[in-house]
Structure 1
Amino acid sequence: MLLSAGSCSNDFVDTQFYQSLPDAPLASINEMNSFILGAYASMRNTSYYGADFIVFGEARSDEMFGNLAGGYYTNIVNYSQTSNDGYANDTYNRIYETVAKVNRVIGVDVNTLPAADRQKALYAQGQAYALRAMAFFDAFRLYGQKYIPGGTGLGIVLPLKYDPTALQPRATIADTETQIDADFQKGLQLMTANGAVSSVKTELTINSLKGLMSRFYLYKGDYAKVRTYTNDIVATGGYSVASRDLLQVSYRYALNGASTNSIFELAVGTTASLGTGSLRQRYNSAGYATVVVSDAAYNSYAANDVRRSLITPLASTGFKYLSYLTTNNGIGKYTQTGGADNVKMLRYEEILLNGVEAELNGGSAAKALTYYKNILRERLADIKDGSGNITQTVQQQMDAITSVNITMLKTERMKELIGEGLRQWDLRRWGDPVPRAGTAKTDPNLNAFPIPRKETDLANSPILPNPGYDNSK
């Protein structure tokens, strides 16, 4: 595949350096850090985590769906993409643009730098390996053949060094997972050896890396590793479940990078706001309003569950919205009108839910219950009768929960993580049905996105397409 370093805005890369020496080896720690920031900028783009990649995980799920408002995500909802599909092409480009940028950092010979900068450079390379693992994992879930019946065991293209002229075939599923694993482990090793634990939430840290690794190993079914990384994060004592009184506030722009439950966010803010390309526009009733909450998801919340209040049913449209009102203090998730909300990449609640699932698969049932109740304790309010008298306190409700099972865990992941882009991938890794619209094609090979035609039809390209699409060979 042909890799482009992409274009970089002035807020993270010195334009003169980047444009005058685009392919020269990076020669300083400042240049290395600039390319790390450049990777974050690619990731927060609308075609990636800024909106589309998250929507892909929701529009094909049981908790949200695309209502085709404004024509957005029609091909996603209907499984009607072609090899020239804009969503498939644009997200592919942004993912591999991210890879290209971090490969520039990985390719630096640290020994050529001043001795005083080498430890920082190694830490930056650790971040680069980890970000590459994230990008490969994202590409693998979208374009890999793990969840289709008609594939030939193909994963994705795995460029391990920056070479804009290189052509290479897709790796196997097994080799793709092995490379993601290796990159995560290399990143953790370098960051741990060359940096300290940091509480910064808008850059990849040792703790946020462990959290992302717990997500990957959960998908891989390596529950022992999930338990290890969950234990490590919990043991830091640096994070807490957002309290029921502050849950709504934790999603607002005012707490960008500051909520106690936040582990990793992609910084956006007003200077880099995503505007009409933001996730807010996709979810908000006053925006495109094109991805809405399913009845089943809404009805799964108890009346005293504070998370129910994040969802707004509108009789005028018949839909239920995860973002509501046209003020910056709106209701739900992603409500800042200009799209300046940071992208919530990893919350403490997800770590606890990962821990629940891992403990239920070969670990401690008691610890799973503790993690589970740690969340519910801050989501359920006292139950009251019609006169306002308390009939059951939160603690009494907690005391009544004496065990947790996988079915309960699956429901809780839906209720807690709705709208955050994980549900489709949860359903697929569990082997559970992924609902399709009545208008959707039924071919299961279309679970995987098409490999863009610009990749498969390139002269001498060794990249094979996915079955079921117009560029299949």
Structure 2
Amino acid sequence: MNKKNRLYKIALLAFGLTMVSNSCSNDFVDREFRQDVIQSDLKTLQEIKSFVRGGYSSMRSSTYYGRDFLAFGEVRSDEMYSNKASGYYTTVQDYSMTSSDAYASGTYNQIYTLVGKMNIVINTDLTGFLTADLPAAKYYQGQAYALRAQGFFDLLRLYGQKYTGGTLGVVLPLKFDPKAKQARATIAQTETQIESDFNTALTMMTANAAIDAPSNKTELSISALKVLMSRYYLYKGDYAKVRSLTADVIGKYSVIPKDLYQESFRYTLRGAASNSIFELEVGTDSSLSTSSYAYVMSYNGYANVVPFTSVYALYDAADIRRTLITRATATAHYLSYTNGQGVTFGKYTNTVGADNVKMIRYEEVLLNAIEAELMPGGDPAKALLYYNQILTNRGLTAVTSVDLDMLKKERVKELVGEGFRQWDLLRWGVTSFKPASVNINKLAFPIPRAETDLAGTLVESNPGYDN
């Protein structure tokens, strides 16, 4: 199954030597492949590793996990909102996107760029590789499968019709073929491919576990892969799989202590925090600067995306997490930014944009496990144990019982601003955050017009849009 020409016009595929800067950020030389030429196999382990690092580079882009994808999960929720300063996320929040919307096309292109890079790695024939390099080459091919799975999952959530009542998923290119055209798969087919890629990744990486280096938080480890898979199976409602996957990770990391909570999000502790499982490396040389997530969150930057006061009200006075949010006024419904005074969202305060992108924190693992253990077939005692590990490290007193309502509130308190909320609400069947006047079709982003207008396209648009 191949993808059509349009998606790879912008694909800068990573190649070349890895350079380690003073900030310890891994960068690489990019070369642009001609859009009308099929890329030949990679020839060395170094090339494979460089293409995988190129995938991480795509993920840390401001149009993907470096900013926009996280913001999408917040401004379409009951947790945070855009104050629309400088127009940031206005069309996303107001459900007024068109098929030419820059947010829709920017993220779409960036994710398919990731997929294109990973397809080069996945389809490389390792027959001619040095025997000594084969375990590592297979391990990194496993990483490529995992990153492709995550890309397809993110595309499905944004552009698929899972929550609109439709049946269409997304286009699933499995080879880099710039001349091919392909229609969208169904939701079921998309989910099957995601699961296949994740499972292949786990098999390949586990078979070559000697290469695995979980202490290197800026590469996907086997543990990190299992957490990404647990996210997917939460979305699917397969709690038995969530329990199994999280059980393999629990105990290998620890909840960040209260006194290090804010510091754990900053550049100073990047990669070294006890709760860090996977981060996208940024550093000063690759700083996202004013295009960073920090810049749209912090009062030192644009302060465009801020929490509702209802979020602040969830926190107990002793909760260290409450200190990361400052109210504009005691009665304001929104936490707004006025003349340099108002909201301080303390997870993201380094507006230089050099902080690593926190992809997986151990606290998420526990929260995923708590939810799964509270479901039929789970162990409520384990859920309580995990829940109290978070509470006691946030300055709070342990409790004697926990239920799903408490778990859902705790996900807000612990994960606010990290891009989870919209997807949590949707998988729980909650759509009340969407204005009643907005058609349910608008829960899915538009397929970019550049796709649907291409001569001979097989890609069908989402209903409710102008293409």
TM (norm. structure 2) is 0.91
Q: 1:304 to 1:30 in 2, by over 3 A?
A: same
Partner of 2:288: 274
Partner of 2:392: 377
Counterpart contact for 2:95–2:442, Cα < 8 Å: yes
Q: Which moved more, 1:195-204 or 1:44-53?
A: 195-204
Q: Which runs of 5+ in 2 are unaligned?
A: 20-26
Shift of 1:7: 2.3
Partner of 1:7: 12
Helix, strand or coil: the match of 2:446?
coil
How do 1:51-200 and structure 2 match up within 5 A?
A: 51-149=67-165, 151=166, 153-196=167-210, 197-198=212-213, 199-200=215-216
Q: 1:407 to 1:266 in 2, by over 3 A?
A: same
In structure 2, which of residues 57, 75, 80 is the aligned counterpart of residue 41 of structure 1?
57
Helix, strand or coil: the match of 1:112?
coil
Identity level (%): 54
Helix, strand or coil: the match of 2:262?
helix
How do 1:228-239 and structure 2 match up within 5 A?
A: 228-234=244-250, 237-239=251-253
Deviation readout 1:25-83 (Å, 9 max, x if unpaired) = 21111001110000000110000000000000000111111111111111001100000
Shift of 1:195: 2.4
Shift of 1:433: 3.0
How do 1:338-377 and structure 2 match up within 5 A?
A: 338-361=352-375, 362-377=377-392
Corresponding position: 1:304 with 2:318:
yes
Counterpart contact for 1:428–1:434, Cα < 8 Å: no
Q: 1:230 to 1:337 in 2, by over 3 A?
A: same
In structure 2, which of residues 451, 462, 465 is the aligned counterpart of residue 466 of structure 1?
462
Helix, strand or coil: the match of 2:278?
strand
Shift of 1:15: 4.7
Q: 1:314 to 1:212 in 2, by over 3 A?
A: same
Partner of 2:450: 454
Helix, strand or coil: the match of 1:264?
strand
Partner of 2:417: 419
How do 1:428-443 and structure 2 match up within 5 A?
A: 428-436=426-434, 442-443=438-439
Counterpart contact for 1:311–1:321, Cα < 8 Å: no
TM (norm. structure 1) is 0.89
Partner of 2:243: 227
Q: 1:358 to 1:442 in 2, by over 3 A?
A: same
Q: 1:55 to 1:331 in 2, by over 3 A?
A: closer
Deviation readout 1:246-300 (Å, 9 max, x if unpaired) = 1111111101111100100000010000011000111011322111101111100
- Paired with 2:433 and 2:302, the residues of 1 have a C-alpha distance of 22
Q: Which moved more, 1:112-121 or 1:86-95?
A: 112-121
Partner of 1:244: 258
Task: Give aligned pairs, total.
Answer: 444
Helix, strand or coil: the match of 2:359?
strand
- Paired with 1:14 and 1:337, the residues of 2 have a C-alpha distance of 26
RMSD (Å), alpha carbons: 2.3
Shift of 1:16: 6.5
Counterpart contact for 1:158–1:171, Cα < 8 Å: yes
- Paired with 1:100 and 1:13, the residues of 2 have a C-alpha distance of 17
Q: 1:17 to 1:178 in 2, by over 3 A?
A: closer
- Paired with 1:80 and 1:16, the residues of 2 have a C-alpha distance of 36
Counterpart contact for 1:284–1:321, Cα < 8 Å: no
- Paired with 1:229 and 1:16, the residues of 2 have a C-alpha distance of 37
Partner of 2:220: 204
